[in-house]
Chains A and B, each alone.
Chain A
Amino acid sequence: MSNLLGHYNYWIVIILMMTGFYTVIARPNLIKKVIGLFIFQTSVFILFISMAKIEGGSAPIIAEGISVYSNPLPHVLILTAIVVSLATTALGLALVVRIREAYGTTNEDEIHVQDEQD
Protein backbone atom coordinates (compact mmCIF):
# COMPACT_ATOMS: atom_id res chain seq x y z
CA MET A 1 0.00 0.00 0.00
CA SER A 2 2.71 2.48 0.94
CA ASN A 3 4.61 1.60 -2.22
CA LEU A 4 1.48 2.19 -4.29
CA LEU A 5 0.77 5.60 -2.71
CA GLY A 6 4.47 6.45 -2.64
CA HIS A 7 4.64 6.55 -6.41
CA TYR A 8 1.05 7.54 -7.23
CA ASN A 9 1.96 11.15 -8.11
CA TYR A 10 4.79 10.08 -10.40
CA TRP A 11 2.67 7.55 -12.24
CA ILE A 12 -0.16 10.01 -12.91
CA VAL A 13 2.49 12.48 -14.10
CA ILE A 14 3.76 9.90 -16.57
CA ILE A 15 0.23 9.19 -17.81
CA LEU A 16 -0.32 12.93 -18.34
CA MET A 17 3.06 13.23 -20.04
CA MET A 18 2.19 10.41 -22.42
CA THR A 19 -1.24 11.98 -23.09
CA GLY A 20 0.53 15.13 -24.21
CA PHE A 21 3.11 13.16 -26.19
CA TYR A 22 0.36 11.20 -27.98
CA THR A 23 -1.45 14.44 -28.88
CA VAL A 24 1.75 15.85 -30.38
CA ILE A 25 2.60 12.82 -32.54
CA ALA A 26 -0.86 11.44 -33.47
CA ARG A 27 -3.05 14.50 -34.00
CA PRO A 28 -2.66 16.35 -37.33
CA ASN A 29 -4.10 19.68 -36.16
CA LEU A 30 -1.30 22.14 -35.31
CA ILE A 31 -3.21 23.92 -32.51
CA LYS A 32 -3.90 20.54 -30.94
CA LYS A 33 -0.19 19.76 -31.12
CA VAL A 34 0.66 22.99 -29.27
CA ILE A 35 -1.94 22.07 -26.62
CA GLY A 36 -0.33 18.61 -26.38
CA LEU A 37 3.02 20.27 -25.67
CA PHE A 38 1.29 22.39 -23.04
CA ILE A 39 -0.05 19.25 -21.28
CA PHE A 40 3.41 17.70 -21.44
CA GLN A 41 5.00 20.82 -19.92
CA THR A 42 2.47 20.98 -17.09
CA SER A 43 3.08 17.32 -16.26
CA VAL A 44 6.79 18.07 -15.88
CA PHE A 45 5.90 20.93 -13.52
CA ILE A 46 3.84 18.53 -11.40
CA LEU A 47 6.75 16.05 -11.33
CA PHE A 48 9.15 18.67 -9.98
CA ILE A 49 6.71 20.04 -7.42
CA SER A 50 5.84 16.50 -6.22
CA MET A 51 9.52 15.87 -5.59
CA ALA A 52 9.77 19.09 -3.56
CA LYS A 53 7.01 18.05 -1.15
CA ILE A 54 8.01 16.88 2.32
CA GLU A 55 5.50 14.98 4.43
CA GLY A 56 4.11 17.32 7.10
CA GLY A 57 6.05 20.27 5.66
CA SER A 58 4.85 23.79 5.07
CA ALA A 59 5.22 26.38 2.29
CA PRO A 60 8.84 27.67 2.19
CA ILE A 61 8.12 31.02 3.86
CA ILE A 62 10.07 31.25 7.10
CA ALA A 63 7.80 31.78 10.11
CA GLU A 64 8.00 31.15 13.80
CA GLY A 65 6.79 27.82 15.07
CA ILE A 66 7.38 25.99 11.80
CA SER A 67 10.40 23.74 11.48
CA VAL A 68 9.75 21.64 8.35
CA TYR A 69 9.55 23.41 4.99
CA SER A 70 9.10 22.01 1.50
CA ASN A 71 12.08 22.26 -0.81
CA PRO A 72 12.15 25.78 -2.34
CA LEU A 73 14.57 25.04 -5.17
CA PRO A 74 12.17 23.12 -7.50
CA HIS A 75 9.57 25.82 -6.82
CA VAL A 76 11.93 28.46 -8.17
CA LEU A 77 12.83 26.40 -11.23
CA ILE A 78 9.18 25.71 -12.07
CA LEU A 79 7.96 29.23 -11.36
CA THR A 80 10.22 30.64 -14.04
CA ALA A 81 9.58 27.65 -16.31
CA ILE A 82 5.84 28.42 -16.29
CA VAL A 83 6.42 31.95 -17.56
CA VAL A 84 8.90 30.72 -20.16
CA SER A 85 6.39 28.02 -21.21
CA LEU A 86 3.82 30.72 -21.92
CA ALA A 87 6.37 32.61 -24.02
CA THR A 88 7.18 29.50 -26.07
CA THR A 89 3.47 28.58 -26.42
CA ALA A 90 2.78 32.08 -27.73
CA LEU A 91 5.62 31.71 -30.23
CA GLY A 92 4.23 28.33 -31.37
CA LEU A 93 0.73 29.74 -31.77
CA ALA A 94 2.10 32.71 -33.74
CA LEU A 95 3.78 30.23 -36.09
CA VAL A 96 0.44 28.36 -36.45
CA VAL A 97 -1.26 31.64 -37.41
CA ARG A 98 1.37 32.33 -40.09
CA ILE A 99 1.17 28.77 -41.42
CA ARG A 100 -2.60 29.09 -41.70
CA GLU A 101 -2.19 32.34 -43.66
CA ALA A 102 0.32 30.75 -46.03
CA TYR A 103 -1.39 27.37 -46.55
CA GLY A 104 -5.03 28.09 -45.68
CA THR A 105 -5.14 25.16 -43.25
CA THR A 106 -3.91 24.10 -39.83
CA ASN A 107 -3.99 20.41 -40.73
CA GLU A 108 -0.58 18.82 -41.02
CA ASP A 109 -1.67 16.19 -43.57
CA GLU A 110 -3.04 18.86 -45.93
CA ILE A 111 0.13 20.93 -45.55
CA HIS A 112 2.19 17.87 -46.60
CA VAL A 113 -0.04 17.34 -49.66
CA GLN A 114 0.41 20.99 -50.69
CA ASP A 115 4.17 20.77 -50.20
CA GLU A 116 4.39 17.69 -52.41
CA GLN A 117 2.43 19.37 -55.21
CA ASP A 118 4.92 22.24 -55.43
Chain B
Amino acid sequence: MEHFIDIVLLGLLMITGFAIVRMRSLLAVAMLTSIYSLLSASLFMVLDAVDVALTEAAIGAGISTILMLATIALTTDREKAPRHTPLLPLVVVFTTGAALIYGTLDMPHYGDPDAPVHRRMAAAYLHDTPEEIGVPNVVTSVLASYRGYDTLGEVTVIFTAGIGVLALLGYRTRRRNIQSPAIKKLVVLRVIAKLFLPLILLFALYILFHGDYGPGGGFQAGVIFATGFILYALAFGLGNAQRLIPQRLLHVLAAAGVLIYAAVGIEGMLLGGKFLEYRVLADDPVTGQHLGIMLIELGVGITVAAVMLIIYFGFVSRQHSGDS
Protein backbone atom coordinates (compact mmCIF):
# COMPACT_ATOMS: atom_id res chain seq x y z
CA MET B 1 0.00 0.00 0.00
CA GLU B 2 2.79 2.39 0.96
CA HIS B 3 4.50 1.70 -2.36
CA PHE B 4 1.28 2.34 -4.23
CA ILE B 5 0.78 5.77 -2.57
CA ASP B 6 4.43 6.58 -3.23
CA ILE B 7 4.11 5.74 -6.93
CA VAL B 8 0.86 7.69 -7.35
CA LEU B 9 2.16 10.79 -5.53
CA LEU B 10 5.37 10.84 -7.56
CA GLY B 11 3.32 10.46 -10.76
CA LEU B 12 1.12 13.41 -9.76
CA LEU B 13 4.22 15.46 -8.94
CA MET B 14 5.58 14.77 -12.41
CA ILE B 15 2.32 15.81 -14.08
CA THR B 16 2.17 19.02 -12.02
CA GLY B 17 5.80 19.75 -12.89
CA PHE B 18 5.12 19.43 -16.63
CA ALA B 19 1.98 21.59 -16.32
CA ILE B 20 4.02 24.31 -14.57
CA VAL B 21 6.48 24.41 -17.48
CA ARG B 22 3.79 24.54 -20.15
CA MET B 23 1.35 27.04 -18.59
CA ARG B 24 1.57 30.68 -19.69
CA SER B 25 -0.63 32.26 -17.04
CA LEU B 26 1.66 32.91 -14.07
CA LEU B 27 -1.28 33.05 -11.63
CA ALA B 28 -2.14 29.47 -12.59
CA VAL B 29 1.54 28.54 -12.28
CA ALA B 30 1.68 29.97 -8.74
CA MET B 31 -1.34 27.90 -7.73
CA LEU B 32 0.16 24.79 -9.34
CA THR B 33 3.39 25.42 -7.41
CA SER B 34 1.33 25.39 -4.23
CA ILE B 35 -0.23 22.05 -5.25
CA TYR B 36 3.25 20.74 -6.11
CA SER B 37 4.44 21.61 -2.59
CA LEU B 38 1.40 20.05 -0.95
CA LEU B 39 1.96 16.85 -2.95
CA SER B 40 5.59 16.71 -1.89
CA ALA B 41 4.56 17.31 1.72
CA SER B 42 2.23 14.29 1.46
CA LEU B 43 5.07 12.30 -0.06
CA PHE B 44 7.38 13.22 2.87
CA MET B 45 4.63 11.97 5.18
CA VAL B 46 4.57 8.60 3.39
CA LEU B 47 8.38 8.46 3.59
CA ASP B 48 8.22 8.84 7.42
CA ALA B 49 9.67 12.36 7.42
CA VAL B 50 6.95 13.96 9.56
CA ASP B 51 8.95 17.04 10.58
CA VAL B 52 9.90 17.72 6.97
CA ALA B 53 6.28 17.28 5.83
CA LEU B 54 5.11 19.83 8.38
CA THR B 55 7.73 22.33 7.24
CA GLU B 56 7.04 21.83 3.54
CA ALA B 57 3.27 22.21 4.02
CA ALA B 58 3.67 25.45 5.96
CA ILE B 59 6.38 26.96 3.77
CA GLY B 60 6.00 25.57 0.27
CA ALA B 61 2.24 25.45 0.07
CA GLY B 62 1.68 28.47 2.31
CA ILE B 63 4.16 31.33 2.40
CA SER B 64 5.95 30.70 -0.95
CA THR B 65 2.64 30.88 -2.79
CA ILE B 66 1.74 34.16 -1.10
CA LEU B 67 5.13 35.62 -2.07
CA MET B 68 4.74 34.48 -5.68
CA LEU B 69 1.26 36.00 -5.86
CA ALA B 70 2.60 39.25 -4.36
CA THR B 71 5.37 39.33 -6.98
CA ILE B 72 2.88 38.69 -9.79
CA ALA B 73 0.70 41.52 -8.47
CA LEU B 74 3.74 43.82 -8.68
CA THR B 75 4.76 42.66 -12.17
CA THR B 76 2.69 40.86 -14.76
CA ASP B 77 0.59 37.74 -15.04
CA ARG B 78 1.39 36.89 -18.67
CA GLU B 79 4.45 35.03 -19.81
CA LYS B 80 5.58 35.86 -23.33
CA ALA B 81 6.60 33.05 -25.67
CA PRO B 82 10.35 32.42 -25.76
CA ARG B 83 12.11 33.87 -28.78
CA HIS B 84 14.58 31.02 -29.31
CA THR B 85 13.77 27.44 -30.20
CA PRO B 86 14.09 25.22 -27.14
CA LEU B 87 16.32 22.77 -29.04
CA LEU B 88 19.62 23.50 -27.28
CA PRO B 89 18.13 23.55 -23.74
CA LEU B 90 16.33 20.25 -24.51
CA VAL B 91 19.59 18.61 -25.62
CA VAL B 92 21.37 19.87 -22.47
CA VAL B 93 18.54 18.71 -20.20
CA PHE B 94 18.25 15.25 -21.76
CA THR B 95 22.02 14.67 -21.67
CA THR B 96 22.26 15.74 -18.01
CA GLY B 97 19.21 13.65 -17.12
CA ALA B 98 20.60 10.56 -18.85
CA ALA B 99 23.94 10.97 -17.07
CA LEU B 100 22.19 11.30 -13.69
CA ILE B 101 20.00 8.23 -14.32
CA TYR B 102 23.13 6.27 -15.26
CA GLY B 103 24.56 7.43 -11.91
CA THR B 104 21.56 6.11 -9.94
CA LEU B 105 22.15 2.54 -11.20
CA ASP B 106 24.90 2.12 -8.61
CA MET B 107 22.76 3.46 -5.77
CA PRO B 108 21.37 1.12 -3.12
CA HIS B 109 17.70 0.27 -3.61
CA TYR B 110 14.99 2.44 -2.16
CA GLY B 111 14.24 1.36 1.43
CA ASP B 112 17.34 -0.83 1.71
CA PRO B 113 18.24 -1.04 5.44
CA ASP B 114 21.89 -1.87 4.65
CA ALA B 115 22.53 1.28 2.59
CA PRO B 116 25.74 3.09 3.61
CA VAL B 117 23.77 6.22 4.52
CA HIS B 118 22.18 4.40 7.47
CA ARG B 119 25.44 3.30 9.07
CA ARG B 120 27.72 5.19 11.48
CA MET B 121 26.32 8.63 12.39
CA ALA B 122 22.62 7.99 11.82
CA ALA B 123 22.73 4.75 13.79
CA ALA B 124 24.64 6.50 16.58
CA TYR B 125 22.12 9.35 16.78
CA LEU B 126 19.23 6.90 17.04
CA HIS B 127 21.05 4.83 19.65
CA ASP B 128 22.36 7.64 21.87
CA THR B 129 19.50 10.13 21.82
CA PRO B 130 17.32 8.61 24.60
CA GLU B 131 20.28 8.39 26.95
CA GLU B 132 22.23 11.57 26.15
CA ILE B 133 19.52 14.04 25.20
CA GLY B 134 16.42 12.46 26.69
CA VAL B 135 13.96 13.65 24.02
CA PRO B 136 11.97 11.16 21.93
CA ASN B 137 12.11 13.11 18.66
CA VAL B 138 15.52 12.29 17.18
CA VAL B 139 15.12 14.93 14.46
CA THR B 140 14.92 17.62 17.15
CA SER B 141 17.89 16.21 19.07
CA VAL B 142 20.07 16.14 15.93
CA LEU B 143 18.88 19.56 14.75
CA ALA B 144 19.22 21.41 18.04
CA SER B 145 21.93 19.54 19.89
CA TYR B 146 24.21 17.25 17.86
CA ARG B 147 24.31 19.55 14.85
CA GLY B 148 23.61 22.83 16.64
CA TYR B 149 26.40 24.60 14.72
CA ASP B 150 24.68 23.90 11.39
CA THR B 151 21.38 25.18 12.65
CA LEU B 152 22.97 28.37 13.97
CA GLY B 153 24.43 28.88 10.49
CA GLU B 154 21.04 28.32 8.87
CA VAL B 155 19.29 30.78 11.19
CA THR B 156 21.96 33.32 10.27
CA VAL B 157 21.30 32.66 6.56
CA ILE B 158 17.58 33.32 7.09
CA PHE B 159 18.37 36.50 9.02
CA THR B 160 20.68 37.64 6.19
CA ALA B 161 18.00 36.94 3.58
CA GLY B 162 15.62 39.09 5.61
CA ILE B 163 18.16 41.94 5.54
CA GLY B 164 18.60 41.38 1.79
CA VAL B 165 14.86 41.68 1.07
CA LEU B 166 14.70 44.74 3.31
CA ALA B 167 17.59 46.33 1.40
CA LEU B 168 16.00 45.53 -1.99
CA LEU B 169 12.38 46.42 -1.29
CA GLY B 170 12.60 48.76 1.70
CA TYR B 171 9.61 49.22 3.95
CA ARG B 172 6.95 51.80 4.46
CA THR B 173 4.72 51.91 7.48
CA ARG B 174 1.14 52.80 6.64
CA ARG B 175 -0.82 55.07 8.94
CA ARG B 176 -3.94 54.88 6.84
CA ASN B 177 -5.29 51.42 6.31
CA ILE B 178 -5.36 50.50 2.64
CA GLN B 179 -7.67 47.74 1.61
CA SER B 180 -9.57 47.00 -1.54
CA PRO B 181 -13.34 47.33 -1.17
CA ALA B 182 -13.78 43.85 -2.65
CA ILE B 183 -12.17 42.23 0.41
CA LYS B 184 -14.25 44.35 2.82
CA LYS B 185 -17.33 42.66 1.41
CA LEU B 186 -16.03 39.16 2.18
CA VAL B 187 -17.68 38.75 5.57
CA VAL B 188 -16.86 35.04 5.79
CA LEU B 189 -13.13 35.70 5.34
CA ARG B 190 -13.10 38.40 8.01
CA VAL B 191 -15.05 36.37 10.56
CA ILE B 192 -13.01 33.22 9.96
CA ALA B 193 -9.73 35.16 10.11
CA LYS B 194 -10.69 36.69 13.45
CA LEU B 195 -11.75 33.29 14.76
CA PHE B 196 -8.63 31.50 13.53
CA LEU B 197 -5.94 34.00 14.53
CA PRO B 198 -5.73 32.99 18.22
CA LEU B 199 -5.98 29.32 17.29
CA ILE B 200 -3.15 29.59 14.75
CA LEU B 201 -0.92 31.41 17.27
CA LEU B 202 -1.73 28.84 19.95
CA PHE B 203 -0.96 26.02 17.53
CA ALA B 204 2.36 27.66 16.69
CA LEU B 205 3.28 27.76 20.38
CA TYR B 206 2.28 24.11 20.73
CA ILE B 207 4.47 23.17 17.75
CA LEU B 208 7.34 25.17 19.28
CA PHE B 209 7.29 23.62 22.75
CA HIS B 210 6.11 20.16 21.76
CA GLY B 211 8.89 19.75 19.20
CA ASP B 212 10.88 17.55 21.58
CA TYR B 213 8.14 14.95 21.72
CA GLY B 214 6.36 15.09 18.39
CA PRO B 215 6.95 16.60 14.97
CA GLY B 216 7.68 20.29 15.18
CA GLY B 217 10.22 22.81 16.41
CA GLY B 218 11.34 26.38 15.99
CA PHE B 219 11.37 26.50 12.19
CA GLN B 220 7.82 25.24 11.72
CA ALA B 221 6.48 27.23 14.67
CA GLY B 222 8.00 30.47 13.37
CA VAL B 223 6.42 30.00 9.97
CA ILE B 224 2.99 29.13 11.40
CA PHE B 225 3.18 32.12 13.73
CA ALA B 226 3.91 34.38 10.76
CA THR B 227 1.03 32.93 8.70
CA GLY B 228 -1.37 33.94 11.50
CA PHE B 229 -0.39 37.59 11.04
CA ILE B 230 -0.37 37.27 7.24
CA LEU B 231 -3.95 35.98 7.38
CA TYR B 232 -4.83 38.98 9.54
CA ALA B 233 -3.15 41.36 7.08
CA LEU B 234 -5.01 39.78 4.15
CA ALA B 235 -8.40 40.09 5.84
CA PHE B 236 -8.06 43.44 7.64
CA GLY B 237 -5.51 45.37 5.60
CA LEU B 238 -1.82 46.09 5.83
CA GLY B 239 -2.09 49.21 8.01
CA ASN B 240 -3.96 47.39 10.76
CA ALA B 241 -1.48 44.50 10.69
CA GLN B 242 1.46 46.90 10.93
CA ARG B 243 -0.17 48.65 13.88
CA LEU B 244 -0.54 45.23 15.53
CA ILE B 245 3.11 44.33 15.01
CA PRO B 246 5.25 47.40 14.17
CA GLN B 247 8.09 47.12 11.65
CA ARG B 248 10.69 48.30 14.18
CA LEU B 249 9.70 45.53 16.57
CA LEU B 250 10.15 42.99 13.75
CA HIS B 251 13.67 44.28 13.06
CA VAL B 252 14.58 43.91 16.75
CA LEU B 253 12.99 40.45 16.98
CA ALA B 254 14.77 39.13 13.86
CA ALA B 255 18.13 40.00 15.41
CA ALA B 256 17.10 38.95 18.93
CA GLY B 257 16.38 35.36 17.86
CA VAL B 258 19.88 34.86 16.41
CA LEU B 259 21.37 36.53 19.50
CA ILE B 260 19.44 34.22 21.87
CA TYR B 261 20.83 31.24 19.96
CA ALA B 262 24.42 32.52 20.08
CA ALA B 263 24.02 33.58 23.72
CA VAL B 264 23.07 30.02 24.71
CA GLY B 265 26.30 28.89 23.02
CA ILE B 266 28.41 31.44 24.85
CA GLU B 267 26.65 30.69 28.16
CA GLY B 268 27.84 27.11 27.75
CA MET B 269 31.41 28.38 27.33
CA LEU B 270 31.14 30.61 30.40
CA LEU B 271 29.98 27.65 32.47
CA GLY B 272 33.07 25.71 31.48
CA GLY B 273 31.81 23.74 28.50
CA LYS B 274 32.30 24.19 24.78
CA PHE B 275 30.32 26.49 22.45
CA LEU B 276 26.72 25.20 22.26
CA GLU B 277 27.39 22.48 24.81
CA TYR B 278 24.10 22.24 26.71
CA ARG B 279 25.14 19.65 29.29
CA VAL B 280 26.69 22.30 31.54
CA LEU B 281 23.60 24.55 31.57
CA ALA B 282 22.05 22.67 34.49
CA ASP B 283 23.27 20.37 37.24
CA ASP B 284 21.88 17.35 35.47
CA PRO B 285 23.17 16.84 31.87
CA VAL B 286 19.77 15.75 30.51
CA THR B 287 18.01 18.76 32.09
CA GLY B 288 20.71 20.96 30.59
CA GLN B 289 20.03 19.47 27.17
CA HIS B 290 16.29 20.10 27.58
CA LEU B 291 16.89 23.70 28.61
CA GLY B 292 19.37 24.35 25.80
CA ILE B 293 17.13 22.83 23.13
CA MET B 294 14.11 24.80 24.32
CA LEU B 295 16.01 28.10 24.35
CA ILE B 296 17.55 27.71 20.91
CA GLU B 297 14.23 26.53 19.43
CA LEU B 298 12.72 29.70 20.88
CA GLY B 299 15.47 31.78 19.24
CA VAL B 300 14.95 30.00 15.90
CA GLY B 301 11.19 30.52 16.13
CA ILE B 302 11.49 34.25 16.87
CA THR B 303 13.92 34.90 14.00
CA VAL B 304 11.98 32.81 11.47
CA ALA B 305 8.64 34.43 12.35
CA ALA B 306 10.10 37.95 12.24
CA VAL B 307 11.95 37.40 8.93
CA MET B 308 8.87 35.86 7.27
CA LEU B 309 6.83 38.93 8.29
CA ILE B 310 9.57 41.35 7.19
CA ILE B 311 9.63 39.64 3.77
CA TYR B 312 5.84 39.64 3.47
CA PHE B 313 5.46 43.29 4.53
CA GLY B 314 8.32 44.23 2.17
CA PHE B 315 6.49 42.82 -0.85
CA VAL B 316 3.03 44.04 0.09
CA SER B 317 3.91 47.58 1.19
CA ARG B 318 5.76 48.10 -2.10
CA GLN B 319 2.62 47.14 -3.96
CA HIS B 320 0.54 49.81 -2.23
CA SER B 321 3.16 52.50 -2.66
CA GLY B 322 3.16 51.80 -6.41
CA ASP B 323 -0.55 52.60 -6.58
CA SER B 324 -0.40 56.02 -4.99
A binds B: yes
In the bound complex, how far is the Cα of B83 from the Cα of A93, in angstroms? 23
Cβ contact within 8 Å between B10 and A9: yes
- CB-defined interface of B132-176 with A at 8 Å, one 1/0 digit per residue? 000011110011000100110010011001101100110000000
Q: Which residues from chain A contact B315 at a C-beta distance below 8 Å?
A: 93-94, 97
Q: Which residues of A contact B248 (CB under 8 A)?
A: none
B142 touches A73 (CB 8 A): yes
Proximity string of chain A (91-118) to chain B, C-beta cutoff 8 Å, 1 when within and 0 when not: 1011111101000001101000000000
- Residue from the list B59, B104, B112, B223 in contact with A14, Cβ < 8 A: B104
Smallest CB gap from B160: residue in A: A87
Size range of the chain A interface in the assembly:
35 or more
B48 touching A53 by the CB < 8 A rule? Answer: yes
Partner pick for B110 among A9, A29, A96, CB 8 A cutoff: A9
Are B154 and A84 in contact, CB atoms less than 8 angstroms apart?
A: yes
Q: Cβ of B214: which chain A residues have Cβ within 8 Å of it?
A: 61
Instruction: For the complex formed, measure the closest distance between the CB of A56 and the CB atoms of chain B, giving whole angstroms.
Output: 8
Asked if B33 and A72 make an inter-chain contact with CB atoms under 8 angstroms apart, the answer reads: no
How far is the CB of A43 from the nearest CB of chain B, in Å?
8
> Taking A7-B110, A55-B112, A96-B75 as contacts, is the C-beta distance between A83 and B21 under 8 angstroms?
no
* Chain B residues near A109 (CB-CB < 8 A): 80, 82-83
For chain A, what secondary structure do more than half of its interface residues adopt (helix, strand, loop), or is it mixed?
A: helix
B64 touches A89 (CB 8 A): yes
Given contacts A25-B92, A59-B50, A90-B165, A84 and B21 within 8 Å (CB-CB): no
Contact of A75 among B20, B52, B157 (CB under 8 A): B52
Output the nearest chain B residue to A23 by Cβ-Cβ distance: B21
Chain B interfacial positions (CB closer than 8 Å to A): 3, 6-7, 10-11, 13-14, 17-18, 20-21, 26, 29-30, 33, 36-37, 40, 43-44, 47-52, 55-56, 59-60, 63-64, 67-68, 70-72, 74-76, 79-80, 82-83, 86, 89-90, 92-94, 96-97, 100-101, 104-105, 107, 109-113, 115, 117-118, 121-122, 125-126, 129-130, 136-139, 142-143, 147, 150-151, 154, 157-158, 161-162, 164-165, 168-169, 213-215, 217, 219, 223, 304, 307-308, 311, 314-315, 318
Q: A58-B48, A60-B48, A74-B117 are in contact. List 18 more A-B contacts (CB 8 A).
A: A7-B109, A8-B10, A15-B97, A20-B17, A22-B93, A45-B52, A46-B13, A54-B111, A62-B138, A63-B136, A75-B139, A79-B217, A82-B60, A83-B219, A84-B157, A86-B59, A86-B60, A91-B164
A-B residue pairs, 8 tightest by C-beta: A6-B109, A87-B161, A55-B111, A26-B89, A70-B48, A94-B168, A72-B138, A60-B138
